[in-house]
Amino acid sequence: MEAPQYIGKEEVPSTLLRPGIDDPDSMRGKFEHMIRGVQTQVVAAIEEVDGCTFRQDAWTRPSGGGGITRVLQEGNVWEKAGVAVSVVYGTMPAESYRVAVGKDVPFEKDDRVPFFAAGVSSVMHPWNPHCPTMHFNYRYFETEEWKGIPGQWWFGGGTDITPSYIDEEDMRHFHGTYKAVCDRHDPTWYDKMKTNCDDYFQIPHRGETRGMGGIFFDDLNDRDQDAIFAFSSDCAANIVESYVPIVKKHKNDPYSARQKEWQQVRRGRYVEFNLVYDRGTIFGLKTGGRIESILMSMPLTASWRYDYQPEAQSTEAKFLDAVKNAHKQRWV
């Protein structure tokens, strides 16, 4: 794929779809409209709490698509907060496509399948160790007809929370918000998606999860397309409600040097997962995405202290036990 072209801070195109090619009333158009609205809503809510403003960068590709990245750095409440939208056209290796569709598709070694991907993603890293990091991503993926196989489509995404300390009331609020969303669309989904989240955000080499989970779904196409779009939209519309009240509650909490050190150690775990295991990061790097937007999720600061062991029975040790047994944690 060709390199993205930076177009500045203010020149944001009204749409990232390809003029005359992509129908704005199609799912591609509806999903782009939704994720751009989510970006605006979340940025406004964070700016209201923080008192600082986001920097905005936009980029496009000559063949169509592009993205808008908004980042707040060294604010009053957040060390770093970013919300990025991307609409990308490209090609994927045929082997990856064969695995994705679950069919024994004949292909040549260098065959590539045309695809469309759109998504909104975000990571919020507060200064205060008592305020959790939060991540969300909602995406839509299509392939075009290829070798007689009709185009395929999938939805994916989720919202998850990564505290450094466990406040059970906060966890009930966060998970309860997303259980209510799931229950509006399919009462079986919360338990499934909570489990999916715990499975996905595993750091195998540590034997831990990255945080306290949330919901996660991938390759979702088992029902009407508009029904899944409605669910994705509902999830995204509740990001602010699930997270911002928790930050407001704790942003002025006092904390010690030890608590700040523990937060930095946990941020190191966050980096390890994102760089080694996160499929979104890997996909962006392999498809020639804008590197600043892909690595927006990295915190400004993190720590890798050698053989760091929290004191027995401390709040840090209890947190470590929780992330080593994430599937046992039931908040709602």
The verdict on whether 135 is a catalytic residue reads yes
Give the list of residues 6+ apart from residue 58 with CB closer than 8 angstroms, or none.
6, 7, 8, 9, 11, 12, 13, 66, 67, 68, 69
Q: Is residue 14 packed enough to be buried (19+ CB in 10 Å), middle (13-18) or exposed (0-12)?
A: exposed
Among residues 33, 125, 130, 135, the one annotated as catalytic is: 135
Per DSSP, helices labelled H in the chain are 27-50, 94-101, 168-185, 189-200, 225-237, 239-250, 257-276, 279-286, 291-294, 315-324
Task: Count other C-beta atoms under 10 Å from residue 21's C-beta.
Answer: 9
Residues that are catalytic:
135
